[in-house]
Amino acid sequence: MAHQFTISEVCICEAAKVWKDDGEILATGIGLLPRIAVGLAKKLHNPDLMMTDGEAFLIDQPHPLGVGAEPCVDGYMTYSRVFDVLWSGARHAMVTPTQIDKYAHLNISSIGNYAQPKVQLLGVRGFPGNSISHRNSIFIPNHSKKVFVEGSVDMVSSVGFDADDVEPLIGKVITNLGIFDYQGNKNTLRLLSIHSTSSLDEIRDNTGFDFEIFSTDETTNPTKDELDIIRNELDPNNLRSSVIGE
Amino acid sequence: MNKVITTNDFISKLEDGMTIGIGGWGARRKPMSLVREICRSNLKDLTLVSYGGPDIGLLSSCKKIRKLIFGFVSLDLIPLDSHFRNARQSGELPEVVEIDEGMLQWGLRAAGMNLPFLPTRVGIGTDVLKNNPHIKFVESPYDDKEKLVAMPAIKLDVALLHVNESDEKGNTLIFGPDPFFDDLFARAASKTFVSTEKLVDSTSFDKEKVANYNRFERNLVSGIIPDEGGAHPTACNPSYGIDLDHLKEYSKSAKTFDEYQEKYLFVDEATYKKNVGGIKSITSIPLTKF
């Protein structure tokens, strides 16, 4: 019998797979869905992953979100240590930029004219260093031309494929419409699968630049195992339902 | 040497145009009472260096900042700081040096090591370097000849930090889970002023505690300001967490700042504490879960 699931759950299950073959590295999921995805990756795909409590410690097992559980601490990971780890390359993060372009530049700094931005965001944080040091996957809850911009992002916060001497390591790009990577010809964005609720036309209409099509298959459905872990262990209060409007 | 001073003494040591580094991170262990004293003062045209939180927001809305050197400004539980956003979006913040948070660490470390710069790859291929043409490249003198960013030293006139305990000589203990980069701020600065939850007799320090929690030497410390609750509304583990309700009120006040100023800044620090519910209510704020 077919089981019911949401696009958030599809995204979490696909996102978790990005850490499958990473070995013993630090996995960082920034934002709610990526964070649940790291937990699922650790439980299901790669038990060797190191993950943090979001403050200063490594935890042995992901703890359920929003229920005040005390995680089981087994290591120390201050910001200073995070910098040391990330510069060594032993990390794979999943991030949600406000803008992304055809060169895989990400922007979390500001929108509009830099001198007096229309919208001031967070600031570049660690994106320049992350993008030059380790693999980053991307989660976009609101796939649109505002995010996948025509031309360049407004403030280039990370290295892109147009740089001379360096190249970013981009993993998967997981959105509310489909799954992509940047492994098309000359590192073009490439469509890998389309979620059951979306279509190629919808993706085209909502992407501000050309992309290659590797496959238009439907994204893999979550398994019962995956859903059980997400629903019963990682996010029992269904906080994930607020991330993607569905 | 007894380094305990009053907040008036502290303000009298600062001057217009100084470069001031603020320890902590986002909404965690910020020396907020010292920041509020700067807001209450006539000081102006400051260069601020911070892993920014409400310290930067408040100083922006009080128009104390001429130049801001930062990697981000965030309230942690509320991702963006409305005061800082206002300042940027209205064009009222005259100059920003926006760099990667690791470049900020490198700049402070270079200053503390008395070096002109430290090399790094961080920043290459991004607008950080386009927007900051004063940051130059350097070529590796070794066979690799790699082109690297020469992150310049960020020298501070003053560093402001908040700690859990200090004795009157400036032997400090930070019990929070992450000491952040407070040690580097202290080393990068000509003078460091420290507000402390508790002023203690250092004969009570035990070796193990000191080994784990004394993050920098007392010779770096110029003044100690005893101030329980001094990090409010930011967290000071293990005594109290982030005051989310206050941060919400603070966030709303970006548009109607007068009311907030009236209640919290045009009054002295003792009245501030009373107006946020008293020290007991501050120290009963549960520790923040991230």
What single string gives the DSSP state of each residue in B176-230?
SS--TTHHHHHHHEEEEEEEEEEE--GGG--HHHHHHH--S-GGGEEEEEE-TTT
Q: Report the share of chain B in percent with pLDDT over 70.
A: 100
Contacts of residue B131 in chain A, CB cutoff 8 Å?
A: 114, 155
Residue A2 placed within a domain: no
Say yes or no: B253 and B239 in one domain. yes
Q: Tell me what ipTM this predicted complex has.
A: 0.96
Partner residue opposite A68 with nearest CB, options B79, B128, B289: B289
Residue B111 placed within a domain: no
Partner residue opposite B147 with nearest CB, options A79, A132, A165: A165
Residue A244 placed within a domain: no
Domain residues for A69? 7-238
**A71: nearest CA partner in chain B:** B289
Quick check: B137 pLDDT over 70?
Answer: yes
Contacts of residue B120 in chain A, CB cutoff 8 Å?
A: 129
Q: Name the residue among A111, A106, A112 with its Cα closest to residue A132.
A: A106
* Subunit contact A123:B70, Cβ cutoff 8 A: yes
Non-local (6+) Cβ contacts of B116 within 8 A are B110, B150, B152, B153
Residue A169 placed within a domain: yes
Say yes or no: B87 and B223 in one domain. yes
Residue B225 placed within a domain: yes
* Subunit contact A118:B89, Cβ cutoff 8 A: yes
Q: Determine the angle formed by the axes of helices B244-252 and B54-61, rounding to 10 degrees.
A: 30
Taking a C-beta distance cutoff of 8 angstroms, is the pair A64, A234 a contact? yes
DSSP string, A168-202: --EEEEEESSEEEES-SGGG--EEEEE-TT--HHH
Residue A181 placed within a domain: yes
Residue A224 placed within a domain: yes
Q: pLDDT tens for residues B232-286? A: 999 999 999 999 999 999 999 998 899 999 999 999 999 999 999 999 999 999 9
CATH of residue B160's domain is 3.40.1080.10
Give bridge partners of residue B282 from the DSSP assignment.
none
Residue A32 placed within a domain: yes
* Subunit contact A158:B88, Cβ cutoff 8 A: no
* Subunit contact B105:A53, Cβ cutoff 8 A: no
Q: Encoding tokens for residue B239? A: 């005594």
Q: Cα separations (Å) of B46 from A37, B15, B38, B83, B182? A: 43, 9, 10, 17, 20
- Does residue A118 belong to the interface with chain B, where contact is any CB pair within 8 Å? yes
| Mean pLDDT, chain B, integer | 97
Residue B109 placed within a domain: no
Q: Report the C-alpha gap between A26 and A41 in whole angstroms.
A: 12
The pLDDT of B172-179, averaged and rounded, is: 97
* Per-residue pLDDT at B213: 97
Partner residue opposite B124 with nearest CB, options A54, A116, A132: A132
* Per-residue pLDDT at A1: 43
Say yes or no: B122 and B15 in one domain. no
* Subunit contact A123:B131, Cβ cutoff 8 A: no
* Subunit contact A123:B73, Cβ cutoff 8 A: yes
Quick check: helix, strand or coil at residue B249?
helix
Contacts of residue B71 in chain A, CB cutoff 8 Å?
A: 123-126
CATH of residue A201's domain is 3.40.1080.10
- Does residue A103 belong to the interface with chain B, where contact is any CB pair within 8 Å? no
Q: Report the C-alpha gap between A71 and A57 in whole angstroms.
A: 9
Per DSSP, which regions of chain A are E strands? Answer: 26-29, 51-52, 57-59, 73-76, 91-95, 99-100, 106-107, 110-111, 119-120, 135-140, 170-175, 178-181, 190-194, 212-213
Residue B288 placed within a domain: no
* Per-residue pLDDT at B190: 98
Say yes or no: B64 and B126 in one domain. no
Say yes or no: B120 and B96 in one domain. no
Q: Collect all residues from B whose CB is shorter than 8 A from any CB in A.
A: 25, 52, 70-74, 79-80, 84-85, 88-91, 98-103, 105, 120-128, 130-131, 147, 177-181, 289-290
Residue type (1 letter), B110? A
* Per-residue pLDDT at A2: 58
- The DSSP symbol for A42 reads I
* Subunit contact B73:A68, Cβ cutoff 8 A: no
Our CA-based measurement puts residue A4 at a distance from the nearest CA of chain B, in whole angstroms, of: 30
Domain residues for B96? 7-100+154-283
Say yes or no: B133 and B67 in one domain. no
Is residue B202 exposed (0-12), middle (13-18) or buried (19+ Cβ within 10 Å)? middle
Quick check: B204 pLDDT over 90?
Answer: no
In chain B, what are the helix, strand and coil shares in percent, each to the nearest 5? Answer: 35, 25, 40
* Subunit contact B290:A131, Cβ cutoff 8 A: no
Q: What angle do CA B53, B59, B61 make, to 5 degrees?
A: 105
> Into how many domains does chain A fold?
1
Residue A1 placed within a domain: no
> Into how many domains does chain B fold?
2
Q: Report the C-alpha gap between A113 and B4 in whole angstroms.
A: 46
Our CA-based measurement puts residue A242 at a distance from the nearest CA of chain B, in whole angstroms, of: 16
Residue B2 placed within a domain: no
Q: Report the C-alpha gap between B57 and B75 in whole angstroms.
A: 9
Q: Report the C-alpha gap between B159 and B216 in whole angstroms.
A: 13
Give bridge partners of residue B194 from the DSSP assignment.
B161, B224
Give bridge partners of residue B157 from the DSSP assignment.
none
Say yes or no: B186 and B274 in one domain. yes
* Subunit contact A83:B89, Cβ cutoff 8 A: no
* Subunit contact B90:A124, Cβ cutoff 8 A: no
Quick check: B102 pLDDT over 80?
Answer: yes
Partner residue opposite B128 with nearest CB, options A55, A120, A124: A124
Contacts of residue A62 in chain B, CB cutoff 8 Å?
A: none
Residue A245 placed within a domain: no
Partner residue opposite B101 with nearest CB, options A53, A54, A126: A126
Say yes or no: B170 and B134 in one domain. no
Say yes or no: B132 and B274 in one domain. no
Residue B79 placed within a domain: yes
Our CA-based measurement puts residue B278 at a distance from the nearest CA of chain A, in whole angstroms, of: 26
Say yes or no: B18 and B148 in one domain. no
**B128: nearest CA partner in chain A:** A157
Give bridge partners of residue A193 from the DSSP assignment.
A179
Along chain A (246 residues), what's the average pLDDT of each consecutive run of 10 residues?
Answer: 85 98 97 97 98 94 84 94 98 98 98 97 98 98 98 98 93 98 97 97 98 98 97 96 85
Our CA-based measurement puts residue B286 at a distance from the nearest CA of chain A, in whole angstroms, of: 11
| Cα end-to-end span (Å), chain A | 23
Give bridge partners of residue B272 from the DSSP assignment.
none
* Subunit contact A166:B121, Cβ cutoff 8 A: yes
Say yes or no: B255 and B122 in one domain. no
Contacts of residue B56 in chain A, CB cutoff 8 Å?
A: none
* Subunit contact A56:B177, Cβ cutoff 8 A: yes
Residue B108 placed within a domain: no
Taking a C-beta distance cutoff of 8 angstroms, is the pair A66, A237 a contact? yes
Say yes or no: B125 and B175 in one domain. no
- Does residue A208 belong to the interface with chain B, where contact is any CB pair within 8 Å? no
Question: What is the number of CB-based contacts under 8 A between chain A and chain B?
Answer: 126
* Per-residue pLDDT at B70: 98
* Subunit contact A128:B100, Cβ cutoff 8 A: yes
